[in-house]
Structure 1
């Protein structure tokens, strides 16, 4: 028999969460962000999101795979293309590409394409990752309008701080400075969709909300929105130990028993994607009872408190995160974010798909 850990991917939850986003921005178009292997949920498991207006990702290979599986709606390459030759595939498969660098513009000028491509022209919001500065933006935009390889242009910016009004004002200034044409715009990520309607514009780009977690990292911030976790990580008790006063647990003896105590050993560790730095007290669910992590997370096992779980035995079910133990709660306890936990799910963890 296989090791008992399993990740359940709920496609119905993905579809439900998309409908929640749609209810918040009913008049806008939605990019469903499926980068990082659909945030760890599996690029092949996102088809319940078929009501979306488009998929946004990084990998050209994954974009082509979507086309080969029959996806005909828009696909956005969020980091654009990395090699000049990529443009031939972007044109062939009718993909939309972000443009953020001068060398990409030069490639568009000098390459002979069968069909023109749609582009998202990226503005540097102040995060100083990708995008053009305001002082050169209008000149670049003017030039791109005359390139025969470009079908249409959408203006794009990524906001790193939802409550940073300077970012928003910055984009507004650029947009107002453009004369003679009204461009479609895409600024909003998941946080802006929820908490900043001023920048919704035409297309929103939604990631973490689709998977049922909070863009702020605090589940309480989205508890009333009725999102459903799309991933549940679960395992089982594979061993039970009885501790005496002063007994220790695991590597480094990071937990010392202050009384007689019953503990359970769970088949789950950092090699499965559970956060290695999760501290004592990180919540888990055992047989319907909320309990806590004890001791250091090891490669293949964790240890949990069974003091208030007298009926728990070997083979009892454990929810690491899911419907009751929110992934945001585990991430916050471990000093990280739910994005990282989702993306860190290890290939050795088998998937159970709920359609």
Structure 2
């Protein structure tokens, strides 16, 4: 009897494989490997180190994420997808080869006004239709002209945009309109362009441009809600596991867990597994959500609590305390689990707390 708590086993070979899949889909483009949000829960420093020979650029959301990569020995350029938000961040970025996404006038004005010890590489964010951040197409000419006048900005500048609906096959026209809008305002005015997130890499080869930005696909997960990564030759990088810590006989008609929300329709055996929302496993996961135990699917029974969840093993189960439980990974795609829960696989892998142990298998 050797039970353990939640463990996320990360295959770095799978991550490397998935980057190669992205590069094969876009053979003429360079690759920005997106390692924001702790590499989507997979461990940013370790993942970046594993990709350092294959990625041309790394991309993160926050300044602190880039600082961590630099302090950990990552030498490639790092793109700050949200840019900088004070002079100290701008000055540090110039000294540490952080590429800066510029998406609002306050950032442009700071570039004009802040003396820097080294020139910075700028990516202008064009709002081609996401309507979240970025300069409107009608502002682009002014922004490019002002940046061209800044001696401490590497010339010419680059431009990027973000797709709002590239993961929706029935909304192809929306993405095509974004592509056309972006190309119209950047043609002949910038050095490099980047449009494609993971969905764009897979679904819009004509938009691969100079750089692609594979994110979720690096971790073996598809951005398309009705598919899974293996459909595109991707390999799941994370096997999220725990173990059985109790097996109990359970009578028909008896409830399990808080609020008695699940009542067994038969005599059965209930397994208690060592995972809960304290580990980042979603509390809203309903009864019927699958897990794998000893190679067979069983389903949640009752509410997920902070440290434990319960599963219906079936009346003839022979599972024992200490047996491993796969929550998602090889053989049970995170995308499928997410569909049962009513969320997306991105949230499953990024929401884990500090309690589950990260283990790297290669």
Shorter-chain TM-score: what band?
over 0.9
For 1:179 and 1:320, the matched residues in 2 are separated by 47
| Cross-structure match for 2:42 | 41
Distance 1:90 1:79, change over 3 A: same
Alignment map for 1:44-55 (pairs within 5 Å): 44-46=45-47, 47-50=49-52, 51-55=54-58
Q: Which runs of 5+ in 2 are unaligned?
A: none
Aligned residues: 354
| Cα displacement (A) at 1:64 | 2.9
Does the 8 A contact of 1:331 with 1:341 survive in 2?
yes
| Cross-structure match for 1:75 | 78
| Cα displacement (A) at 1:181 | 3.9
Asked if 1:187 corresponds to 2:188, the answer is: no
Does the 8 A contact of 1:213 with 1:219 survive in 2?
no
| Cross-structure match for 1:114 | 117
| Cross-structure match for 2:307 | 300
| Cα displacement (A) at 1:323 | 0.5
Asked if 1:285 corresponds to 2:285, the answer is: no
| Cross-structure match for 1:146 | 149
Task: Indicate the larger mover: 200-209 or 210-219.
Answer: 210-219
- Partner residue of 1:97 out of 97, 100, 119: 100
- Partner residue of 1:161 out of 159, 165, 170: 165
- Partner residue of 2:262 out of 229, 243, 255: 255
Asked if 1:348 corresponds to 2:349, the answer is: no
| Cross-structure match for 1:60 | 63
Measured on the aligned residues, the alpha-carbon RMSD in Å equals 1.8
| Cα displacement (A) at 1:174 | 4.8
| Cα displacement (A) at 1:170 | 4.3
TM-score scaled to structure 1, two decimals?
0.95
Asked if 1:204 corresponds to 2:202, the answer is: no
| Cα displacement (A) at 1:148 | 0.9
For 2:117 and 2:154, the matched residues in 1 are separated by 12
Q: Which runs of 5+ in 1 are unaligned?
A: none
| Cα displacement (A) at 1:161 | 0.5
For 1:142 and 1:340, the matched residues in 2 are separated by 39
| Cα displacement (A) at 1:164 | 4.4
Does the 8 A contact of 2:31 with 2:212 survive in 1?
yes
| Cross-structure match for 2:224 | 216
| Cross-structure match for 1:237 | 244
Does the 8 A contact of 2:128 with 2:182 survive in 1?
no
Distance 1:87 1:309, change over 3 A: farther
| Cα displacement (A) at 1:301 | 0.7
| Cα displacement (A) at 1:13 | 1.1
| Cα displacement (A) at 1:101 | 0.7
For 1:175 and 1:3, the matched residues in 2 are separated by 53
| Cross-structure match for 2:338 | 331
